[in-house]
Amino acid sequence: MRVLEIKGKTGETKIVLGESASEVPKYAQGGEIVLVMDERVRALHGEKFKGMRIVEIGEGEEAKTLESVQLLYGKFLELGLDRGSCVVAVGGGIACDLAGFAAATYLRGVEFGFVPTTLLAQADASVGGKNGVNFKGYKNLIGTFSQPKFVLCDFGMLESLPRPHMQEGMAEMIKSAAIGDAQLFSFLEDNCAQVLSLKRTAIEKAVHDCLVVKTKIVQADETEKGERRKLNFGHTVGHALEKISEGKISHGKAVAIGMCVAAKISVAKGMMAQKDADRLEELLKKAGLPTKMDARDAGALMQKAGALEKADAQKEAVLDAMRKDKKMERGMLNFVLLEGIGKAKVVQMGLEEIGEHL
């Protein structure tokens, strides 16, 4: 068991790697525990939480709405949650985002913790204190920064995870390595298959090192005024792709493509050597992730863009989605580039310049 801590302004988080999910009560403050999970997670893991009350939420990105949050508020009210209670999300990033936001705003904030059941959530989404829901098609437009009290990573839970889900997590792990830990990047190059096949020593080391990158950055800049922006490496273009494909391109795939675009820009600006961009592409391929949009995706976009040329349609749709990125500040985007493997730099860029490399 390894333990990491985040001491943030919005709370302190204890991250416990290799802990059993059923140990939740050890980490809550002692009042009523209410678990939040979807039907599928309940069927897989519900038995681990004997005697604790469970509230069900919908599945998938479509459930990440204000309507779902209101349903949770209603349940919390019914169950008589008070400020001594603890809300625990069990599931992937969506369950954590949704339950985290509901808990952070119910009674102006009740205690909450996470038991992430996906690699993506364990290695990334459950840690850092961001929560939120989508609004009118924009991802995470509504939310807060609030640190969970605890995050328990039970690696046994990953065994029921289908391979594409593992790849989703791998995309974020590669991101963490690329922006902050060259040694971890090499480790992933050498051990990609072992991590994806859940070899315990490999996955524990990889998740731990990813979370070290993330906790350091979050602690330095909890509310994303500077340093934390580095965690968005690949995400600016990635979010735009997710948005315009209406979820057909998964988060991990979109971020993989987004990282390649950002690497290309980094090379074009003379900030990074071509061989480092190549290493990034190679590792993504090794993990089974895309490095550019494929023809089918482009076809789907064509329908939206009407008479434009295929390549232009794609580019224009991506730019249009980025225009409404919530990180846009006075018309400029804080775009994350690389100066090499393990070293990120945030650069203010206009949309036009980014467009040249799409």
Q: Which helix (H) or strand (E) holds 287?
A: none
User: Nearest distance from residue 106's CB to its own copies, in Å?
Assistant: 6
Strand order in the sheet with 150-153: 2-8, 11-17, 150-153, 111-116, 86-91, 33-38, 53-57
Pick 102 or 179: Cβ nearer its own copies: 102
Is residue 130 flagged as an active site residue? yes
Q: Between helices 93-105 and 66-78, what is the axis angle to 10°?
A: 60
Q: Is 199 in the site for its own copies (CB under 8 A)?
A: no
Binding status of residue 13 toward its own copies by CB under 8 A: no
Q: Is 20 in the site for its own copies (CB under 8 A)?
A: no
- 293's tokens: 């949009």
Contact flag: residue 147 with its own copies (CB under 8 A): no
- Size of residue set near its own copies by CB under 8 A: 37
Output 144 or 191, the one with its CB closest to its own copies.
144
Comparison of 163 and 323: residue with beta carbon closer to its own copies: 323
Neighbours of 335 (CB within 10 A): 25
Q: Which residues make Cβ contacts (< 8 Å) with residue 43, sequence separation at least 6?
A: none
Per CB under 8 A, 74 contacts its own copies: yes
- Contact region for its own copies (CB under 8 A) — 15-23, 253-261, 277-285, 324-332? 324-332
Tokens for 12, please give them: 């302190």
Q: What minimum distance in Å lies between the beta carbon of 70 and its own copies?
A: 6
Catalytic annotation present for 228: yes
* Interaction residues for its own copies, span 93-132 (CB under 8 A): 104-109, 130, 132
Strand partners, 8: 11
Q: Which is nearer to its own copies, 154 or 222 (CB)?
A: 222
Shortest spacing between CB 174 and its own copies, in angstroms: 25
The sign of the torsion formed by the CA atoms of 241, 246, 251, 252 equals: negative
Among 50, 51, 136, 162, binds its own copies (CB under 8 A): 136
**Contact residues for 14 (Cβ-Cβ < 8 A; gap 6+):** 3, 4, 5, 27, 149, 150, 151
Q: Please, what is the minimum distance in Å from the beta carbon of residue 313 to its own copies?
A: 24
**Is residue 165 flagged as an active site residue?**
no
Q: Of the listed 130, 205, 230, 315, which one is catalytic?
A: 130
Give φ, ψ of 301 to 5 degrees.
-70, -35
H-helix or E-strand spanning residue 51:
none
What gap in Å lies between CA 86 and CA 103, rounded to an integer? 8
Active-site annotation, residues: 108, 130, 172, 214, 224, 228, 232, 235, 239, 251
Residues at the site binding its own copies, with contacts judged by CB under 8 A: 9-10, 31, 66, 70, 73-74, 77, 80, 82-84, 104-109, 130, 132, 135-136, 138, 140-145, 223-224, 324, 326-330
